[in-house]
Amino acid sequence: MDFFRRLRIGIRCATLLIVVAAILTGCGGTSTGAAASVPGVSNDTITIGAVLDTTGPLKVICAPILAGDQLYFNKINAAGGINGRKIKLVQVSDGGDSTRTKDAVRQLFEQDNAFALFQVCGSGNANVAESYTNAKGIPFVDPIGGGSKFTDANGKALPWVWMTQPNYGDEGHVLGYYVASKLHAKTAGFFYEDDVLGLQQKTTLNESLQKNGAQLLTSVGYNATQTDFTAAVQTLKAAHPDVIVLNGLPGPTASFIAAATSQGYHPPMGYVANYPMADNSWAKVLGPAGTGTYVSGYTSTATPVGQEYLQATSSDAVFSAYKFYGYINAKIFTDALNKAGKSLTRDSLRNALDHDFNNYDTGFGPSLTWTPDQHGGVSDFMFLQIKNAQLTPASDFIKAAQVWP
């Protein structure tokens, strides 16, 4: 009898303890319950994911971007983090291959338990990532690529995607304006990556050239993995354009200029390249053949944040626009996490991104505005020119809305 009596008392006590624990948890009586319910968020850490190619053809862009990300996050963590939480960046490389991007994203959220996605390198790669994150209500901030999707087929903002950089359509309008109105070219040729990266810009460049009294004579598309540009040079040369506009990535565009140089060809008014080439590493690869080339860009270091970055990287052998890109976008994302509050959830981050970035000072020149209906990036551009294998400012910022329509 004593045994069974003690057993009944033990069961009642255990039940009471379970009920008390449940009540305390529901009332916030534990210090870890709330954080544990949010993927990637603990009492002392926020885990965020990134898909940045550090092993393949996009490494020249993505590796320095990652270095810039880490530089800024390290600074924030050293100062105590965001509301007492340190930022943990988990980076996976997809080798620049969009067929591997979805598996990389799955790893981040199904194995590494990331809270949000910060950066996927490459427009096509970012669009693959978006198809996974948007459907699951996972915040995706800073797709790296001006052809990245941030609206649906009806032009409505995708609810979980926020761009920081400009789209290539806006840039195409500014490129056409600058070529015709500032360089006073009457005709242009266009060398472009024949996919999402170049097709949108092909349309808007042509529109803008026509509006400003110039003409797009011919355009030649290329495959991202193409290495022989002999025929492309011949086609563009035969059209006799005043200037050739280059669209795409640093490797193929540099190879095109090298092929043209080897054939003794140089457009009368030279080349104008779009913003993926706005880095001194591209100018260095071009060598003397790049002298005088104009490049579109949208960031300036003549700001307090820019000067802070230059001081932090004073030991770097050369300024990297890609590394600066990582630094300034890590700042934007960190500001969003801070605005989302201590009780961080994916919904609170979305609310902050949609409502607390009105005419936001990016720290690199242009302002940024996000609303529930607008998730596009900045739309101001400046032009640089290669002199002595270095990019030097050649214009002030030009707002896309001022030149189109």
Query: Is the same domain home to 348 and 262?
Result: no
Tokens of 146: 């001006």
249 and 345 housed in the same domain: no
Q: Is residue 34 part of a domain?
A: no
Are 328 and 370 in a shared domain?
yes
One domain, residues 186 and 288: yes
Cβ count near 29 (within 10 Å): 12
Whole-model pTM: value is 0.89
Query: Do 281 and 304 form a contact (C-beta atoms < 8 A)?
Result: no
37 domain-assigned:
no
Task: Look at the alpha carbons of 269, 274, 275, 280 in this order and tell me if their dihedral is positive or negative.
Answer: negative
Name the token pair of 15. 């039940």
The token pair at 345 is 């959830």
Which amino acid is residue 67, in one-letter code? A
Tens digits of pLDDT across the chain (405 residues): 444 344 344 444 444 333 333 433 343 333 344 455 899 999 999 999 999 999 999 999 999 999 999 999 999 999 999 999 999 999 999 999 999 999 999 999 999 999 999 999 999 999 999 999 999 999 999 999 999 999 999 999 999 999 999 999 999 999 999 999 999 999 999 999 999 889 999 999 999 999 999 999 999 999 989 999 999 999 999 999 999 999 999 999 999 999 999 999 999 999 999 999 999 999 999 999 999 999 999 999 999 999 999 999 999 999 999 999 999 999 999 999 999 999 999 999 999 999 999 999 999 999 999 999 999 999 999 999 999 999 999 999 999 999 999
Same domain, 341 and 262: no
> Do residue 235 and residue 86 come from a single domain?
no
**Same domain? 325 vs 224:** no
329 assigned to some structural domain:
yes
Q: Is 222 helix (H, G, I), strand (E, B) or coil?
A: strand
Residue 18: inside a domain, yes or no? yes
Q: How many domains does the chain have?
A: 3
Q: Are residues 20 and 80 in the same domain?
A: no
Same domain assignment for residues 50 and 175: no
Q: Is residue 39 part of a domain?
A: no
Q: 323: domain range?
A: 45-162+301-374
Q: Based on the domain organization, do 246 and 394 belong to the same domain?
A: yes
Same domain, 127 and 144: yes
Residue 206 lies in a domain: yes
Residues 179, 133, single domain; the answer is no
Helix axes 196-211, 123-136, angle to 10 degrees: 110
| Strand pairing category for 45-51 and 86-92 | parallel
> Looking at residue 326, which CATH number applies to its domain?
3.40.50.2300
7 contact partners, CB below 8 Å, separation of at least 6: none
